[in-house]
Amino acid sequence: MFSSLATLAADPPPPTPHTGGLLLLIHGTAGLLTVAALGIGLLLVLIIKARVQPFVALLGVSIAVGLAAGLSVTELFGTVQKSSATSLIETGMGGTLGHIAIIIALGTMLGAILEISGGAEALSARLLNAFGEKRAPLAMGLTGLIFGIPVFFDVGIFVLAPIVYAAAKRGGKSMVLYAMPLLAGLSMTHAFLPPHPGPVAAAGLLHVQLGWVILMGAAVGIPSVIAAWVYAAWIGNRIFVPVPQDMVDAADEAKAAVAAEQQAAGVTPVETPVSLGTVLAIIGTPLLLILCATFSSIALDPSTGRSVIEFFGHPFVALMIALFLAYYLLGIRRGWSRKSLETVSTASLKPVGNILLVVGAGGVFGAVLKGSGVAQALADAFDSAGLPIIVLAWLISVVLRVAQGSATVAIVTTAGIVAPMLSAGDFSQAHLALVIMAISAGSIFASHVNDGGFWMVSKYFGISERDTLKSWTVLESVLSVAGFAVAASLSLVI
């Protein structure tokens, strides 16, 4: 008996054809499309109505869609002896996180050092002095744009909000006039540029080099954020929101909390301000190295020199170099102990777990869609609609974003849906990067009450829900539509 079981485990039966499973009455493309629609609907219900954690919802729906599409248990989960079968769940999770987990972790630690060292205050102070009082809103926008590259959106709000309060109080104008340009800069970098989770996850799912994502992110993001700044200036002069005293008090408490965090971490405060050149050098180093590596593979023949450039330009190496620069220039040289650097770096990784799990579960969803044939059925259906892939990618992302609120969920789900459409065509890396920009643009459309970012903006800056809808929600929509328009236009010539 035991020998029979061992033989069965070593040589599992062939996978069940995809016409079986739970699809007893539905067959072919129509059945797979029905499964896809029900799966996406179930995902939205679980996240929006049942308030199920997105990681759990994505994983559960992935399993349900796989079984409904006819995948066998072996195909989904593997066997006791994993070497004898490939698990779609493990492949989807591992294949996705293997690419992005290191990048997000290194980027998060880099942002934490920049945050606590005072890099944001140095950046904003120099820009405010350079632009003057009349152009202070533009200075705030550039602060958000530059500081937002290595720092997550919510962290950027926490660090930079006190600067907005001070600028609005000094200028005597509406908080909206100063906050919206800053938020547009933070949102643009969060949506379009690595090392933020959305574009990095999409690059991993669609197998696009990060150098192309950075280049197209800048090409799409800069015109888009300028359009958002124009709207911010217009709405900022039409909605007056004073700086309430409780916001100023909250800013003082935030500064005290950072000081306490520094003290607990053993960081000795240094009176010498951080120079703007140091901040820009640390932020720009990994971007420059990655871009050099990307274009060396195009411009140079295989050689030792090209290998060296590609080594230092690999995202893992480039971000490590930037992190070590930050450790030395912003930490050790300014009196930080090695223990304090380790403490701050470790603490910064705590919020990353949820992001990585959601992105990994999105990879599982994409793997199940592909392995079951659902993704190909969706691709065939969308192809018959006659719309360009870049348009479909934006529309799908918009629908998912508006329905459930999470930009990350919208990106990873959309990437899984459009992946087979892209693999069937002969698209360049640049064109694939533009599709990622369209997906990312769709993922920030119309931030409203089901998005945590909406409430952060409303509460941090003391803006009523009605005025937040008029300002922030429309600002995000302008950024999204402008980003899609630029990406679509570029796709016609690239």
Of residues 106 and 116, which shows the higher confidence score? 106
* Cα-only R_g, the chain: 24
3-state secondary structure of 316: helix
pLDDT above 90: percentage of residues in the chain: 32
Inter-CA distances, 89 with 61, 63, 71, 152, 207, Å: 12, 8, 12, 28, 18
CA 179 – CA 140 distance, rounded (Å): 8
CA 70 – CA 72 distance, rounded (Å): 6
Residues 6+ apart with CB under 8 A from 171: 133, 136, 177, 178
Instruction: Give the number of other Cβ atoms within 10 Å of residue 324's Cβ.
Output: 12
**Confidence (pLDDT) at 462:** 84
Evaluate if residue 216 carries a pLDDT over 70.
yes
Q: What is the mean pLDDT of residues 457-461?
A: 84
Q: What is the mean pLDDT of residues 295-312?
A: 88
Domain range annotation of the chain: 26-93+353-491, 95-198+210-230+244-348
Of residues 192 and 13, which shows the higher confidence score? 192
Name the most confidently modeled range: 81-90, 240-249, 300-309, 400-409.
Answer: 300-309
φ/ψ (deg, to 5) at 267? -90, 125
**Confidence (pLDDT) at 456:** 83
Q: Hunting for tokens 């470790």 — which residue is that?
A: 346
The gap from C-alpha 196 to its chain's centroid, in whole angstroms, comes to: 4
CA 369 – CA 71 distance, rounded (Å): 10
pTM of this prediction?
0.77
**Confidence (pLDDT) at 267:** 57
Least confident range of 88-97, 123-132, 375-384: 375-384
Q: What is the pLDDT of residues 147-162, one digit of tens each?
A: 899 888 887 887 788 7
**Confidence (pLDDT) at 24:** 37
**Confidence (pLDDT) at 272:** 62
Of residues 38 and 253, which shows the higher confidence score? 38
Q: What is the mean pLDDT of residues 332-355?
A: 82
